[in-house]
Structure 1
Amino acid sequence: MNLSACISCFSSSSGTDVSRHAEQDQGNFRVFSYNELKSATTDFHHSKKIGEGGFGSVYKGRLRDGSFVAVKVLSIELDSMRGEREFIAEIASLSDIKHENLVTLRGCCVDGAKRYVVYDYMENNSLAHILHDQKKRLSFSWEARRDISLGVARALSFLLEEVEPHIIHRDIKASNILLDKNFTPKVSDFGLSKLLRDNHTHVSTRVAGTLGYLAPEYAISGHLTRKSDVYSFGVLLLEIVSGRPAVDFRVDYKDQLLVQKAWEAYEAKELVNLVDPKLETNFPVEEAVRFLKVGLLCAQENLRLRPLMSAVVKMLTSETDLQDVQISEPGKVSDFMNIRTQQTPLSEGSSTSSGMSNMWSSVNLGR
């Protein structure tokens, strides 16, 4: 990929004096002009806003060729982000990471101090929109839940074990699992932490993620490894099968954490009772219970006991027998006030290392 051609398209600040290079494809990667994205999103009108997360707001856009895209406006302070050329190089590099269950990154835009990332538009929004909607859950079949679970597991196995250097996502949750027109799951926001400066240390670093999904060793000490993502996937799997939120602030404190409810059901040999009642009896009991057991295996407190994601895929597809597998108690962040807010995360040889400063202002609450 010829990045010099991409980089040369930018003016110093306004984005109005953009050369014709912005209109040229660089393989599958494009550098968009600000005016093109502004037009596509109707000047980033509030009616076009389709999501918001730790990295920024997302807008639905329609390009001049008629295709739809999702435009993420990054809410990261400029002094904590890589320079213009490095930013484009990192985005271009991420666009080369392809998998059926990863959102396709189409390109980016730099307009002065502002940064934009452009993705394929996902017609069915996110998994969270289904799980957190009582009516939509009624039509959320077991087959769909199984396929989504497997798709996410395969994507994480790819990111954590096959991509070099490994990419730790840091914020696996239902709202970061997007669904295309066929309800194929697509993991979003992978690798965006690479956009931060490697040695940017004067901004406070904080644990990135969402309560309920955070691995306890990461939430409390800032110790980040690939097994942190495995923990988050375990919670997500429990959520998909049960229909319950990872943390439910509407109930008594002792019943708020899904992993605790799942553990109690496991110990009582009543895991089947945790399956989403919206499914009624329209699910294979043995498979549903196996999925719940895999979720608990992934969420074990001892990170060394958590399986690799490639092993998780085999468990979910019955290639590995779980009959005699022992499951230990899950890790829990029982006191949310213990979450560390001033921390330089450690890594397991992944692309999230190098004393990274954090682009997230705080740990996300709720869903």
Structure 2
Amino acid sequence: MQAKREFCTEIAVIGNIRHVNLVRLRGFCAEGSRRLLVYEYMNRSSLDRSLFGATGAPVLEWGERMEVALGAARGLAYLHTGCDQKIVHCDVKPENILLADGGQVKVSDFGLAKLMSPEHSAIFTTMRGTRGYLAPEWLSNAPISDRADVYSFGMVLLELVHGRKNRSTMTSSTMSGGTSGGDDDYFPMVALELHEQGRYLDLVDRRLEGRVSEAEVARAVRLALCCLHEDPAQRPSMAAVVRVLEGSVPPPEPRGDALGFLRLYGRGY
């Protein structure tokens, strides 16, 4: 009963959220052990279908990808700072970013979201989220804050650049000139290595056939890596992420010493 009361309380709060980049919750069910959420319809489905779609599917152009990143970032920033109670989404991934005609981008699926009281900067909670997008603090039983969402967003941003899942295997032909091209490469680690070499265009989805701006790719990669810093306090806020994606401020510089843990993560995939 306690779990049901908490679920209903949190859904009531989430149901009252209004933001152009957050999908509207139309209804829910909490009968017995069953939980059902009903959202508004988005006719282009989730980002993963457009980004990781089958061969021959229309390719998301670079500008579209950055609009998706900006829309999702704005939605998450609103959850973190625009509500009476801070909301940590806890499951940011392409499957939970919905698209519709007219360039609509909306973050969805608040089934794992947690509310935070204004006086709390972090909370302890049971592990929730999706493998490949989990921030390190989830695995060490450390307190969870909104910066866990920032980490997950960083992974999504790298996937928007590369056009493949962060944990998928890669072949030697994936990276032109590849210093890192083995089958077991973990893309975030490859992104860090090529960032350090200034080889940003080698990270871009090959389906785009060069239709990108190197300066914009560098900005996206640097921002994504900063979102992946192991220490949550070293990650930018989602509001700061929005400003970088809008181009109003330059991206921060990733710290290599704060990203070494990716090697350990990579071995796990």
**Compared with structure 1, are the counterparts of its residues 144 and 117 closer, same or farther at alpha carbon in structure 2 (3 Å cutoff)?**
same
* 1:327 matched residue in structure 2: 254
Kindly name which structure, 1 or 2, has the bigger radius of gyration based on alpha carbons: 1
Alpha-carbon RMSD = 2.7
Q: Which amino acid aligns with 1:82?
A: K
1:106 to 18, 23, 26: 26
Question: SS at 1:116's partner residue?
Answer: strand
Q: Equivalents in 1 of 2:134, 2:183: separation in Å?
A: 17
1:177 to 88, 97, 100: 97
Q: Does 1:261 align with 2:190?
A: yes
| Contact kept? 1:138, 1:279, Cα under 8 Å | no
Q: Equivalents in 2 of 1:286, 1:247: separation in Å?
A: 25
Question: SS at 2:36's partner residue?
Answer: strand
2:69 to 142, 149, 157: 149
Q: Does 1:293 align with 2:222?
A: yes
| Contact kept? 2:89, 2:114, Cα under 8 Å | no
Gaps of 5+ in 2: 116-124, 172-181
| Contact kept? 1:170, 1:228, Cα under 8 Å | yes
Matches within 5 A, 1:274-313: 274-313=203-242
Matches within 5 A, 1:141-290: 141-190=61-110, 192-193=112-113, 206-249=126-169, 254-255=184-185, 257-290=186-219
Displacement, 1:277? 0.9
1:318 to 243, 247, 261: 247
| Contact kept? 1:138, 1:278, Cα under 8 Å | no
Q: Which amino acid aligns with 2:128?
A: A
Displacement, 1:302? 2.8
Q: Which amino acid aligns with 2:105?
A: P
Q: Equivalents in 1 of 2:100, 2:31: separation in Å?
A: 29
**Compared with structure 1, are the counterparts of its residues 294 and 162 closer, same or farther at alpha carbon in structure 2 (3 Å cutoff)?**
same
Displacement, 1:137? 6.0
Q: How many residues align?
A: 247
| Contact kept? 2:87, 2:114, Cα under 8 Å | no
| Contact kept? 2:90, 2:128, Cα under 8 Å | yes
More displaced stretch, 97-106 vs 244-253 = 244-253
Q: Equivalents in 2 of 1:270, 1:337: separation in Å?
A: 23
| Contact kept? 2:90, 2:114, Cα under 8 Å | no
- Please give the per-residue CA displacement for 1:8-51, whole angstroms capped at 9, x wherever unaligned: xxxxxxxxxxxxxxxxxxxxxxxxxxxxxxxxxxxxxxxxxxxx
Matches within 5 A, 1:73-152: 81-83=3-5, 87-111=7-31, 113-135=33-55, 138-152=58-72
Q: Which amino acid aligns with 2:212?
A: F
**Compared with structure 1, are the counterparts of its residues 221 and 137 closer, same or farther at alpha carbon in structure 2 (3 Å cutoff)?**
farther
The sequence identity of aligned pairs, in percent, is 36
- Please give the per-residue CA displacement for 1:242-267, whole angstroms capped at 9, x wherever unaligned: 11211115765740x22101101111
TM-score (normalizing by structure 1): 0.61
| Contact kept? 1:150, 1:316, Cα under 8 Å | yes
Displacement, 1:108? 2.1
Q: Equivalents in 2 of 1:194, 1:231: separation in Å?
A: 16
Displacement, 1:300? 1.6
Q: Equivalents in 2 of 1:143, 1:294: separation in Å?
A: 17
- Please give the per-residue CA displacement for 1:259-280, whole angstroms capped at 9, x wherever unaligned: 1011011111112210111111
- Please give the per-residue CA displacement for 1:128-159, whole angstroms capped at 9, x wherever unaligned: 11222143664211121011000011011111
Displacement, 1:187? 0.8
Q: Which amino acid aligns with 2:238?
A: M
TM-score (normalizing by structure 2): 0.81
| Contact kept? 2:37, 2:111, Cα under 8 Å | no
Displacement, 1:162? 1.9
- Please give the per-residue CA displacement for 1:188-213, whole angstroms capped at 9, x wherever unaligned: 12364459xxxxxxxxx742122221
Displacement, 1:337? 9.7
| Contact kept? 1:231, 1:299, Cα under 8 Å | yes
